[in-house]
Structure 1
Amino acid sequence: MMKPQALCLSTALFWLAAAPADAQDIFKCADVDGRVLYSNVPTKNCRKIVLEPINVAPPPKAPAKPGAPKAATATPADFPKVDDKTQKSRDGDRRRILENELAGEQQNAEQAKKELAAQQEVFLPTERVRGGAINGAKVQERLQAYKDKVALHERNIEAIRKEIANLR
């Protein structure tokens, strides 16, 4: 059996822990044996403890106004500058590289579509059930890798086209 003092201390600690985090009043109390207890409920032999509030959350950011220009960061004085001719040459090189990537990705997508079409015509012996019927779930499971490959190439094509559209 638990001693009354231990029970009192345990109860006080339980209620202290169960108190809401935003509780404002905390009391330091002494029991008849002189043990110190903390509580959010005052009793006799208690005194209020004044705690300074602590804000651990960062301040909220003001929402950006639509259409408002974004703050530009200053370019360091020692930052290397590129003349217009060099920049246009670099932009042209970038466009050619992206167009080559696009052509390659379109070829890869066409090849992946052909492989998918060829696989859709084939039914493996493990995809048949008794009586020769086709197990559609097994066929779809096998074809999923081919479908994923086609989808990947189509996403790449879209991303490259978007990148080309963003060029100056």
Structure 2
Amino acid sequence: MPMKCVLVLAAALISPLALADVYKCVETDPATGQKRVTYTNSRDAKDCERLSRDLPVSSVPGTSTGKAPAASPSSGSFPKVSSDDQRARDADRRKLLETELATEEASLEAARKALDEADAVRYGNERNYQKKLDRLKPFQDAVAQHERNIEALKKELSNLR
């Protein structure tokens, strides 16, 4: 029974706070001329309008920085690249991707060789086959990673013009 009394008392004390008057204040920044809206429960606020209690009010501050939105890439001010420059960039990119692909294929071959060497050895403490699998797991993960990298590089090369 005392718990109910505590809850009723807490609700009675908190409920007037929920029904407090809310004022909307619009201020103009003299330097930039931008308007800023703030909400307050203070009666001392000047040039503020009292809001109806039925309207929902968000207490999360806005994120306006006052900066103009960035121009879209299709706007006239966006820099253009000549077709010769673009072809040269594409050729450089293709060369770079082919170099990365060759490096990744060499790394895959080395990782497979290391996996085969590790798989050929069985230590005396590996009577349980799971111990051997656990020891080989990093080698298998390295092989799988190189295979995924090669697949991604080949896909990237196929997407080039």
Query: For the residues of structure 2 that align with 1:137 and 1:148, how far apart are their CA atoms?
Result: 16
Equivalent positions of 1:15-164 (< 5 A) are 16=11, 38=15, 50-54=53-57, 73-75=72-74, 77-127=76-126, 134-164=127-157
Change (3 A) 1:38 1:80: closer
In structure 2, stretches of 5+ residues that fail to align are: 17-51, 61-70
Query: For the residues of structure 1 that align with 2:129 and 2:14, how far apart are their CA atoms?
Result: 70
User: Which amino acid is the alignment partner of residue 150 of structure 1?
Assistant: V
CA contact (8 A) 1:105 1:157 kept: yes
CA contact (8 A) 1:12 1:38 kept: no
Alpha-carbon RMSD across the aligned residues, in angstroms, is: 3.1
Change (3 A) 1:155 1:37: closer
CA contact (8 A) 1:116 1:146 kept: yes
Identity of aligned residues (%): 39
Question: Under a length normalisation based on structure 1, what TM-score does the superposition of the two structures give?
Answer: 0.57
Whose radius of gyration is greater, 1 or 2? Answer: 1
- The offset of 1:98, in angstroms, is 0.3
CA contact (8 A) 1:13 1:38 kept: no
Over residues 11-42 of structure 1, what are the superposed CA-to-partner deviations in whole Å (9 max), with x where a residue is unaligned? 2256x5xxxxxxxxxxxx7xxxxxx6739xxx
User: Which amino acid is the alignment partner of residue 165 of structure 1?
Assistant: S
- The offset of 1:50, in angstroms, is 4.1
Q: How many pairs are equivalent? A: 114
Query: For the residues of structure 2 that align with 1:37 and 1:152, how far apart are their CA atoms?
Result: 58
- The offset of 1:122, in angstroms, is 0.2
Partner of 1:69: none
Change (3 A) 1:74 1:152: closer
Over residues 106-155 of structure 1, what are the superposed CA-to-partner deviations in whole Å (9 max), with x where a residue is unaligned? 1111111111111111012222xxxxxx3211101110010010011011
User: Which amino acid is the alignment partner of residue 80 of structure 1?
Assistant: P
Change (3 A) 1:107 1:74: closer
Query: For the residues of structure 2 that align with 1:56 and 1:85, how far apart are their CA atoms?
Result: 54
Q: Helix, strand or coil for the counterpart of 1:125?
A: coil
